[in-house]
Amino acid sequence: NSQMYDQTRELQQLERDLRLACDGLRVADSQGQSTVSSEFRLQYQPIVSLTTDQPTSFEALVRWQHPQRGLVSPADFIPLAEDTGLIVPLGHWVLLTACRQIRCLLDQYPELPPFSVSVNLASQQLQDPRFLEDLDHILTLTQIEGRYLKLELTESMLMDHADATIDMLKQIRDRNIQLSLDDFGTGYSSLSYLHRFPLDTLKIDRSFVSRMQTSPEDFEIIRTIITLAHTLGMNVVAEGIESIEQKNQLAALSCDQGQGYLFSKPLTADAMALQFAAPA
Ligand code: C2E
Ligand code: MG
Ligand code: MG
Ligand code: MG
């Protein structure tokens, strides 16, 4: 029918635009200007310690400033980028840009406390045979030590090709890069599998946090995830903390860190640098 036809046309147009925007990235990148001339931007959301309230990490979140549509949310274009394979060049740009922005921060503020920047990875990036080579190239180019970087994976990425993935993750860890498991609890991962993967952090999905005060089951799931993570030697981040009550309850459950609008919305790189390095 005509409504489905319109939706298909709309999606095809968005795909063409995304392809153009990603083509633009390669040109800009080879000229060393990836941060100025692309339609993509990174914002950074603080992840704070629930004991000290200080940021320990910043999650890099991509935005697409579309010339006609305005700001397109990653929920609307990341799935499309994954379906078309464009996530590989886009993900490369995200990593490079995050590392360049870390380099700027370190150059501008040499006395910062330890921190890391968390970058979301898509499955195709991890399966790309050139991934490690590209990663090393980016670290060398920007002169960033691995400890400044943390990569966020999802449960399905672990389960897809378990043995090859474990090997890849170990090689990432060899570079002192940390690993987080994102949106934990929403995928299919078998709990008995989890210890096989060299992970530093579990991120409890926002959906559990949003229900923790109205649903005793969700509260118990959170408690169980925290215990499990600590038993396996991992630390825990709770996503989507919006109220002080949620924060206090999570802290009482020994959750290590939190992320959410209570602490901060995602910030531009400049705002993040100011807030972290030169707080009022
Ligand atoms: P995510 O990795 O789980 O990132 C957290 C999302 O939750 C972000 O949405 C963030 O803005 C939002 N959020 C944070 N705190 C709160 C809160 O207190 N309340 C609510 N309601 N939301 C909160 P965003 O930026 O729209 O990103 C959505 C998803 O897009 C991300 O979920 C991630 O899966 C994906 N994504 C973003 N950037 C990238 C990227 O560079 N590469 C890849 N592969 N995926 C990305
Ligand atoms: Mg994430
Ligand atoms: Mg998440
Ligand atoms: Mg989530």
Name the residue with the closest Cα to ligand 1, atom 21.
240
What per-residue string of b and e applies to 74-107 under the rule 16 or more CB within 10 Å gives b? eeebbebbbeeebbbebbbbbbbbbbbbbeebbe
In the structure, which protein residues have their CB atom closer than 6 angstroms to any atom of ligand 1?
45, 61-62, 73-75, 78, 91, 94, 120, 122, 152, 182-183, 206, 239-240, 242, 259-261, 266
Residues of the chain with pLDDT under 50: 35-36
| Cβ neighbours, 10 Å, residue 224 | 13
Of 48, 57, 78, the residue with max ligand 1 atoms within 8 A of its CB, to mutate for a pocket test, comes to 78
pLDDT, residue 41, reads 95
Query: Which backbone phi and psi does 162 adopt, to 5 degrees?
Result: -50, -50
Q: What is the pLDDT of residue 24?
A: 77
- Tell me how far the alpha carbon of residue 196 lies from the centroid of ligand 1, in angstroms: 26
How confident is the model at residue 261, as a pLDDT?
98
Report how far ligand 1's centroid is from the alpha carbon of 209 (Å). 15
What gap in Å lies between CA 257 and CA 240, rounded to an integer?
Answer: 11
Q: Which of 43, 120, 208, 244 to mutate to test the pocket of ligand 1 (most atoms within 8 A of CB)?
A: 120
Closest to 117 measured CA to CA, from 125, 107, 105: 105
- pLDDT of the residue at 7: 87
**Which pLDDT score, from 0 to 100, does residue 34 have?**
53
Query: What is the structure's pLDDT at 37?
Result: 62
Q: Could you tell me which residues are beta bridge partners of residue 147?
A: none
This complex has an ipTM of 0.98
Kindly identify the ligand whose nearest atom is closest to the C-alpha of 237.
Answer: 3
Closest ligand to C-alpha of residue 61 is 1
- How many whole angstroms separate alpha carbon 178 and alpha carbon 175? 9
* SS3 category, 280: coil
Q: How far apart are the first and last CA of the chain?
A: 57
The pair of structure tokens assigned to 17 is 């635009």
Looking at residue 153, its pLDDT comes to 96
